Amino acid sequence: MNPHLSQLQPYPFEKLRQHFAGITPPAGLREIKLSIGEPQHETPAFIKQALSEGLSGLANYPTTAGSDALRQAIAAWIGERYGIPAPDYAAQVLPVLGSREALFAFAQTVIDGSRLNALVACPNPFYQIYEGAALLAGATPVFLNTLPERDFELDLTTLSEAQWSQVQLLYVCSPGNPTGKVMGLEDWRALFALSDRHNFVIASDECYSEIYFDEEQKPLGGLEAARRLGRDDYRNLVMFSSLSKRSNVPGLRSGFVAGDAALIGKFLLYRTYHGSAMSPVVQHASIAAWNDEVHVRDNRRLYREKFDQVTPLIARHLDTALPDAGFYLWAKTPIADTEFARELLRQYNVVVLPGSFLARQSGGVNPGAGFIRIALVADIDECLDAAGRIANFCQTL
């Protein structure tokens, strides 16, 4: 067996299941689950229609690189969304089966496990795929805390110059999960300088980029930042994006990786053997989704309405605020986050995720401890119901 498997920790939702063992919520209150970031808005009808119209593609083996039409649609979307020249669809864009599998597989491509003390850096709290990808690639994950006293910015001073010299891959997430923090141009400038000095790759997880609250304030993307800073070749940078949250199709498993052509070429080689080609049926529906922005604006409007109404209700009782982007509230708890989550379920049948389950002890602290992540993915009535229950629970503390 792969010895690195023993290093993997239970996934946060498995921890949550174990943490809730033996709890019996009130029978008269239906469960409201705000723990998992699974979009619950209706999938647009035109995407379903495109999926059915593409069923003839079942008769063909898909190519790992995907169709020219899909890569062209993705490249055009990148150019339009970020106001930059569209990347070379043939060399700088690669369709993937959702960002999750690609974020994992990318580490297996770029990490040289034969080098002593190979490190992979990532934010803390973080998406646990980053840690698992690092461990199974034979590297050691190291964590950059994102704390409220730093306005949830990455603390790049966590690592010494000697440690940065051993970093081969840095995962960043903007907008951040769970904090919703969006990286600014100066943040990117600092990361690019570190990458140039130590020659590590930056993997930018941008799967929440299309959920924001001001149509005039779009979150800055990694490729956009690179172009603005004169890095037109995107050296040592790739971005990951997905239709799951943008278009409410988490079951479609459709996303892309784009950036440094040399890295994309090596990733394509890996994926040729990995066997992760996207079905032609899914490609057909994905082209339709990437080519339409009306449904994405409608989706943002629904989230904006929920956050406008729910955030003040919860902020009266817990220290939280509207995030820069994304669909999570990151709320400070007056008691231990694990106890808060257990008692909220036991008394009010609302499920939230303890922040400590999303982080690791680093620098003497677990930066997720004392927070809960609230995913406002349900419809507005259910979210308001949950907010009311959370408020009632907080009043009992």
What is the per-residue pLDDT for 373? 98
Both tokens of 151, joined, read: 């306005």
Q: How far apart are CA 125 and CA 289, in angstroms?
A: 31
H helices within the chain, ranges in order? 12-19, 45-53, 68-82, 99-110, 129-136, 161-164, 185-198, 222-228, 243-247, 261-274, 280-290, 294-315, 337-348, 380-396
Across the range 311-326, mean pLDDT stands at 98
What pLDDT shows up at residue 382? 97
Write down the pLDDT at residue 316: 97
CA distance 297 to 295: 5
Domain definitions of the chain by residue range: 3-42+295-396, 46-291
Q: Is this structure's pTM higher than 0.95? A: yes
262: pLDDT strictly greater than 90: yes
pLDDT of residue 204: 98
The whole-number pLDDT of residue 286 equals 98
Mean pLDDT of 324-339: 98
Which pLDDT tens digit goes with each residue over 161-186? 999 999 999 999 999 999 999 999 99
> Do 3-42+295-396 and 46-291 come out as alike in CATH topology?
no
Tell me the per-residue pLDDT of 104-158, one tens digit each, with 9 for 90 and over. Answer: 999 999 999 888 899 999 999 999 999 999 999 999 999 999 999 999 999 999 9
Q: What was the pLDDT predicted at 342?
A: 98
Half-sphere exposure of 114 (CA within 13 A, CB side): 0
The mean pLDDT value for 288-304 works out to 98
Question: Does residue 19 surpass a pLDDT of 90?
Answer: yes
**Domain 46-291 in CATH 3.40.640.10:** yes
Residue 113: predicted pLDDT: 82
Instruction: Give the tens place of pLDDT for each residue, 90-117.
Output: 999 999 999 999 999 999 999 998 888 9
pLDDT tens readout for residues 40-72? 999 999 999 999 999 999 999 999 999 999 999
Whole-number average pLDDT of the chain: 97
Q: What pLDDT is recorded for position 114?
A: 83
On the question of pLDDT at 275 being above 90, the answer is: no
pLDDT tens, residue by residue, 198-248: 999 999 999 999 999 999 999 999 999 999 999 999 999 999 999 999 999
For residues 184 and 225, what is the distance between their CA atoms, to the nearest angstrom?
8
Angle between helices 280-290 and 45-53 (to 10 degrees): 140
DSSP at 61? P
Burial class (CB in 10 A: 0-12, 13-18, 19+), 180: buried
pLDDT at 116: 83
Domain 3-42+295-396, CATH homologous superfamily name and number:
Aspartate Aminotransferase, domain 1 (3.90.1150.10)
Instruction: For residue 309, give the 3-state DSSP assignment.
Output: helix
Could you report the per-residue pLDDT of 370-385, keeping only the tens digit for each?
A: 999 999 999 999 999 9
